[in-house]
């Protein structure tokens, strides 16, 4: 039985207008290659960098959100190595005095959070070019990058994914990074080793090229199994860097793992140290938004919804805000508002429509007030759940008030027994097999009859009322 030891290094591109040390636009996803560049980010001799204050503020905000220790003074360092996508021949990073140390998230200790500049991108396959060459796009070179390093507290792949997802939520709530893994705005590396004794560390292997949460899970799972198989067959684990191949679902050896001294770190001579005692850190802390975990707990306590539903609602801040606005509207209109019903309609029906249409909540025409009105109509029995789903599609397209749409469409709920009993009797007489099945103990057959009733009333009856009437009729 082997005990895994896992630590994470997570890089996130900071959402700033300009790059880390120059005035070039911090944009590399669109446009032509090598257009958002200048002599500074290309490393021309004689150029001088200037640190981006907004990026430094982003690092401090993240540190505060993680209950970390904010440095009183910090400085940048040169990390020396040669690679084609690194135009200077070194990277401006931080070594011994990061902006943040000793944080915690999901019970996992955060060693440090520091700032550095990103490298460019190597393009091996370009449409229309068949020259066996690798091209370099420096538009990303110099973009501000937050690197978070954890202690080796992660126990398994599931914990790693949970940590990365919560970190993504936090930086999005803070507004400091979009952290979209598909766009390369958040990249995860895992340091993995196994041993047979608690407290004893095995040989560490770094796994890179992890670009999705699924890949985080699969890469760690694969590497743990691979290392165990090597040791069980009498082999030795080599300290190295391996890359995750998402097509083959394996890790592949890339190079031997460097140590800190291999990078020849030394203080960046062209940038002055930053004195954070001059900043009002306490004010920055007070200005932090409500973070995902606090919002998750509050939603459960304040609205009486399940933790699973709260988890879904807080996934994106825009959804959480829309929910709260709609819940406030519903409570204004109903003393005993059915908040769980509202949350379910939001995360199931409305989210389903948005996913189908390829839209997002911030672009929606349906106001939170109109959405609350729709839920109120369902809760009061004035609109069936089936009609509500159709109504929601119309509201998505027009942004119209649900009561206006009901009047325009002549929609009403058929709820009176005097209207429904003749319909129930007619359906029972026309479906003798379903009646026989019910009397033989096949209770699900009543659902078939309810479906017939909903079709007969064009969705304008309450399925619960219909069910009660069918069960009463069948018990006679």
Per-residue pLDDT reduced to its tens digit, 35-80: 999 999 999 999 999 999 999 999 999 999 999 999 999 999 999 9
Phi-psi region of 116 (alpha: psi -120 to 50; beta: other; left: phi over 0): beta
Q: What is the mean pLDDT of residues 435-440?
A: 79
Percent of the chain with pLDDT strictly greater than 70? 96
pLDDT for res 30 = 74
Give me the CATH code for the 417-474 domain, please. Answer: 1.10.10.410
The residues of the chain that CATH labels 1.10.10.410 are 417-474
Strands (E), 177-292: 186-195, 205-210, 240-245, 250-256, 266-267, 274-275
Beta strand 90-93 with 274-275 is unpaired
Which of 121-135, 179-193, 431-445 is most confident?
Answer: 179-193
Q: Is the pLDDT of residue 10 over 60?
A: yes
Q: Is the pLDDT of residue 336 over 60?
A: no
Percent of the chain with pLDDT strictly greater than 90? 71
144-177 pLDDT, tens digit per residue, is 999 999 999 999 999 999 999 999 999 999 999 9
186-245 pLDDT, tens digit per residue, is 999 999 999 987 778 899 999 999 999 999 999 999 999 999 999 999 999 999 999 999
Q: The tokens of 416 are what?
A: 């009176």
pLDDT for res 409 = 78
Using the 8-state DSSP alphabet, how is residue 67 labeled?
Answer: T
Q: Is the pLDDT of residue 429 over 60?
A: yes
Cα distance between residue 245 and residue 222, in whole Å: 11
The per-residue DSSP string of 218-281 comes to HHHHHHHHHHHHHHHTT-----EEEEEETTTTEEEEEEEPPPGGGGT-EE-TTS--EEGGGS-H
Q: Is the pLDDT of residue 415 over 70?
A: no
59-68 pLDDT, tens digit per residue, is 999 999 999 9
pLDDT for res 334 = 60
Model confidence pTM above 0.75: yes
Cα distance between residue 366 and residue 348, in whole Å: 16
Q: The tokens of 339 are what?
A: 């908040």
Rg, C-alpha atoms of the chain = 29
Q: Is the pLDDT of residue 130 over 60?
A: yes
Q: Is the pLDDT of residue 271 over 80?
A: yes
């Amino acid at each position: 039985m082997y005990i895994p030891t896992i630590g994470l290094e997570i890089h996130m591109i900071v959402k700033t207008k300009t790059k880390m040390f120059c005035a070039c636009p911090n944009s590399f996803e669109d446009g032509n290659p090598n257009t958002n560049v200048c002599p500074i980010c290309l490393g021309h001799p004689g150029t001088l960098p200037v640190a981006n204050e907004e990026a430094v503020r982003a690092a401090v905000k993240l540190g505060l959100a993680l209950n970390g220790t904010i440095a009183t003074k910090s400085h940048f360092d040169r990390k020396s190595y040669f690679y084609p996508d690194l135009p200077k021949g070194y990277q401006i990073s931080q070594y011994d005095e990061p902006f943040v140390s000793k944080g915690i998230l999901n019970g996992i200790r955060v060693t440090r959070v520091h700032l550095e500049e990103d490298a460019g991108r190597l393009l091996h396959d370009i449409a229309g070019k068949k020259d066996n060459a690798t091209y370099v796009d420096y538009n990303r070179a110099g973009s501000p990058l937050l690197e978070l390093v954890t202690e080796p507290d992660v126990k398994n792949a599931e914990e790693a994914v949970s940590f990365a997802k919560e970190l993504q939520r936090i930086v999005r709530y803070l507004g400091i990074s979009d952290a979209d893994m598909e766009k390369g705005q958040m990249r995860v590396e895992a340091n993995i080793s196994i041993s047979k004794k608690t407290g004893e560390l095995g040989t560490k292997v770094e796994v890179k090229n992890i670009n999705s949460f699924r890949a985080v899970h699969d890469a760690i799972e694969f590497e743990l199994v691979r290392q165990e198989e090597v040791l069980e067959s009498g082999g030795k684990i080599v300290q190295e860097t391996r890359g995750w191949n998402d097509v083959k679902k394996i890790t592949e050896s890339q190079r031997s793992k460097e140590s800190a001294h291999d990078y020849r770190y030394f203080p960046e001579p062209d940038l002055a140290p930053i004195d954070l005692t001059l900043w009002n850190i306490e004010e920055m802390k007070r200005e932090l938004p409500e973070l995902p975990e606090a919002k998750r707990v509050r939603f459960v306590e304040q609205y009486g919804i399940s933790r699973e539903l709260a988890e879904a609602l807080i996934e994106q801040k825009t959804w959480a805000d829309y929910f709260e606005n709609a819940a406030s509207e519903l409570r204004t209109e109903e003393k005993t508002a059915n908040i769980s019903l509202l949350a379910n309609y939001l995360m199931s029906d409305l989210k389903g429509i948005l996913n189908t249409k390829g839209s997002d909540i911030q672009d929606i025409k349906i106001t939170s007030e109109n959405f609350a009105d729709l839920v109120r109509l369902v809760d009061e029995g004035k609109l069936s759940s089936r009609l509500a789903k159709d109504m929601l599609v119309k509201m998505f397209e027009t942004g119209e008030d649900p009561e206006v749409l009901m009047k325009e469409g002549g929609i009403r709920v058929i709820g009176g027994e005097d209207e429904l009993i003749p319909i129930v009797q007619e359906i029972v007489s026309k479906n003798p097999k379903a009646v026989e099945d019910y009397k033989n103990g096949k209770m699900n057959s009543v659902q078939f009859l309810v479906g017939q009733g909903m079709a007969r009333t064009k969705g304008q009856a309450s399925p619960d009322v219909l069910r009660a009437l069918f069960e009463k009729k069948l018990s006679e």
